[in-house]
């Protein structure tokens, strides 16, 4: 597995990480044995960058990873997140007291005294981001975290935080059907020496070899995403079918082609596709070695042009605290 830098002067990690939200059953029921098999497969493929959060299954994902770490003792880099409060409607807390308490809970579940990367999962607009960066800088000084990151933020927020203390990574949704970061964030990360970490780079399972069925997405997280609701769902399936056919003709798994496209958008991108299945992981784990030609880029652009997706990527409630800047 190729390596990429986790921010200027940061750790070298696998060019592809593993998003671990699925280990909490968010996209369908799973077991600890299945999660361990997936994590084992990731390690075997050279993936050493694991991304989780306190809210994934309300601690379930971190707990599973902690048990796996204890049983395997692997050398891996862990990123986790805090700031989303499980309430109705959801709320956000970037206060120092909340972040410290949530980080301690994450460390207990992970069985660690330190994590390499700690993200603010969403920005709390009640607190200046400069103040939040100061909190995170103190956690770095205390050895609790190796560096900090931001999630779903605007370039202006990144620049303000980075001026207080260098940011290691920014995590936002980015894939062939979610392209907003191209309007400034990917560029800002490059200029500042910050890693850009795309989550859902294979479109929450839509960019796989087999088209999803509507009944597969009517429970769980995707059920409230407008892109997975009719008539948007069928329209998106029909468009993506052409991309699937192209991948098949090229002789590569659809997810691997989609992920290779993301990796090609800059050497500071470290995508974190998520899965709970070792078999699905095998479909895209080799994406870093897939070289795309100018003809590939042209055909992908024709098949899936920017803005092709029908429906928003989040519901109105899920969009709360996601910074929009264009």
Other C-beta atoms closer than 10 Å to the C-beta of 139 total: 20
Are 117 and 77 within 8 A, CB to CB? yes
E strands, 16-56, where? 18-19, 49-51
Identify the active-site residue in 56, 148, 174, 246.
56
What is the C-alpha separation between 169 and 84, in angstroms, rounded?
18
Burial of 3 (0-12, 13-18, 19+ CB in 10 A): middle
DSSP at 18? E
**Annotation marks residue 314 as catalytic:** no
Burial of 314 (0-12, 13-18, 19+ CB in 10 A): middle
What is the C-alpha separation between 120 and 151, in angstroms, rounded?
6
Helix (H) or strand (E) holding 16, with range, is: none
Alpha helices in 46-90, H assignment, sequence order: 60-72
Pick the closest to residue 147 from 56, 63, 213, 49 (CA basis): 49
Alpha carbon 219 to its chain's center: 21
Residue 99 token pair: 């972040």
Residue 254 token pair: 């659809």
DSSP at 213? P
Pick the closest to residue 265 from 47, 10, 42, 15 (CA basis): 15
Are 170 and 12 within 8 A, CB to CB? no
Q: Give me the active site residues, please.
A: 56
């Amino acid at each position: 597995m190729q390596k990429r830098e986790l921010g200027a002067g940061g750790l070298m990690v696998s060019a592809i990480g593993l998003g671990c939200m699925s280990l909490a059953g968010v996209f369908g029921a799973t077991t600890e044995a299945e999660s361990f098999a997936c994590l084992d497969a990731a390690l075997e493929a050279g993936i050493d960058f694991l991304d989780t959060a306190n809210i994934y299954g309300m601690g379930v994902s971190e707990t599973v990873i902690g048990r796996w770490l204890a049983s395997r003792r692997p050398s891996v880099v862990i990123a986790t997140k805090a700031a989303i409060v499980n309430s109705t409607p959801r709320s956000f807390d970037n206060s120092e007291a909340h972040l410290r308490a949530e980080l301690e809970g994450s460390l207990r579940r992970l069985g660690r005294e330190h994590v390499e990367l700690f993200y603010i999962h969403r920005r709390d607009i009640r607190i200046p981001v400069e103040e939040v960066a100061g909190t995170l800088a103190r956690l770095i000084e205390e050895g609790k975290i190796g560096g900090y990151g931001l999630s779903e933020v605007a370039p202006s927020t990144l620049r303000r935080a980075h001026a207080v203390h260098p940011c290691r990574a920014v995590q936002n949704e980015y894939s062939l059907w979610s392209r907003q970061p191209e309007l400034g964030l990917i560029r800002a990360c490059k200029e500042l020496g910050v890693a850009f970490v795309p989550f859902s780079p294979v479109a929450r399972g839509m960019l796989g070899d087999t088209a999803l069925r509507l009944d597969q997405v009517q429970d769980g997280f995707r059920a409230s995403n407008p892109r997975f609701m009719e008539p948007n769902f069928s329209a998106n399936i029909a468009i993506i079918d052409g991309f699937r056919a192209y991948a098949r003709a090229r002789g590569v798994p659809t997810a691997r082609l989609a992920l290779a496209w993301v990796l090609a958008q800059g050497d500071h991108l470290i995508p974190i596709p998520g899965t709970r299945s070792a078999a699905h992981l095998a479909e895209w784990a080799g994406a870093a070695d897939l070289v795309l030609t100018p003809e590939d880029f042209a055909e992908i652009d024709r098949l899936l042009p920017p803005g092709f997706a029908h429906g928003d990527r989040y519901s109105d409630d899920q969009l709360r605290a996601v910074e929009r800047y264009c």
